[in-house]
Amino acid sequence: MNGIHDMGGMHGMGVIQAEKGEPVFHAPWEGRVFALRRAMGAWRKWNIDTSRHEIELVPPAEYLSLSYYARQFVALLEMLVKSGLVKRTEIESGVAAKDQPKATPALTAEKAAALVAKGVPTSRNLPVAARFEIGQLVRARNMHPAGHTRLPRYARGKIGTVQQDHGVFVFPDTNAHFLGENPQHVYSVRFSARELWGQQAAVQDSVYLDMWDDYLEPA
């Protein structure tokens, strides 16, 4: 979706402010939001693409005014309700509905350690043919899906060169909406900075994006 999250190339967002000696979490609740998202994700009612998309759905003004973990919290509430794991009335009252049997947690401390150590790979060992080859000139499609996509606006319609084939990965545009993994090749594509930004960019500079097959067409 052409949302506020897709902010590469925008102006007016202010000064970058690095904090000296920054803590991992600025308040205990931030750490709890981080952990709750992992623990509830273990129920596998959604995937990483769904959870990214849910944050993109936060309306622009709110997206910009909420802190990072506040956005994550709001998006988590949405996913809990949409997935049916929690009722909206339960969140509002803070009390569990009486008619529901008590579950057994999907993620124990032991499983949490395994999750951290192994992660959740999104590559797929499948014999999917690559549509493009290294060195080939490609154009990022001029497409504007209203749903989730990982093709930033600033690259659409631009011509780049395939530098590397990373292999086969789950396709976020369908996976986010539970429409299937649609596994396909992902390439590292080099775009010259001048192709993206015009003459203001240094002639030798470039931006590399990782692109799924469905984001590309022959140039």
Partner 1 sequence: MTASRRDFLTAAITTTGAAMTSDRSQVDSSGHDHEHQAIPSDFALRVKSLESLLVEKGLVDRAALDALVDTYEHKIGPRNGARVVARAWTDPAYKQRLLGNADSAIAELGYGGMQGEHMRVVENTPKVHNLIVCTLCSCYPWPVLGLPPVWYKSAPYRSRAAIDPRGVLQEFGVKLADDVEVRVWDSTAELRYLVLPERPGGSENMSEEELVALVTRDSMVGVGKARRPGEVDRS
Q: Which burial class, exposed, middle or buried, applies to 199 when counting CB atoms under 10 A from its CB (0-12, 13-18, 19+)?
A: exposed
State residue 75 phi and psi, 5-degree precision. -65, -35
Question: Interface with partner 1 includes 109 (CB under 8 A)?
Answer: yes
Identify which of 118, 138, 119, 117 has the alpha carbon closest to the alpha carbon of residue 188.
138
Residue whose pair of structure tokens reads 């001029």 in the numeric block: 142
Q: Does 98 bind partner 1 (CB under 8 A)?
A: no
**Residue 142 binding partner 1, by CB under 8 A:** no
Task: Give the residue, chosen from 138, 160, 174, 212, that forms a contact with partner 1 under the rule CB under 8 A.
Answer: 212
Give strand pairing partners of 191.
Answer: 207
User: Should residue 115 be labelled a site residue for partner 1 when binding is judged by CB under 8 A?
Assistant: yes
**Window 116 to 135, contacts with partner 1 (CB under 8 A):** 116-123
Q: Which residue of 131, 156, 159, 197 would you call a contact of partner 1, by CB under 8 A?
A: 197
84 binds partner 1 (CB under 8 A): no
CA atoms within 13 A of residue 12's CA, in its CB half-sphere: 2
* Interface pattern 154-173 for partner 1 (x via CB under 8 A): x-----------x--x----
In the complex, least distance from residue 125 CB atom to partner 1, rounded to whole angstroms: 13
Smaller CB distance to partner 1: residue 19 or 218?
19
CB of 211 to partner 1, least distance (A): 7
Stretch that binds partner 1, among 128-136, 173-181, 188-196 (CB under 8 A): 188-196
* Shortest spacing between CB 140 and partner 1, in angstroms: 11
Minimum separation from the CB atom of position 33 to partner 1 (A): 6
Binding of partner 1 at residue 32 (CB under 8 A)?
yes
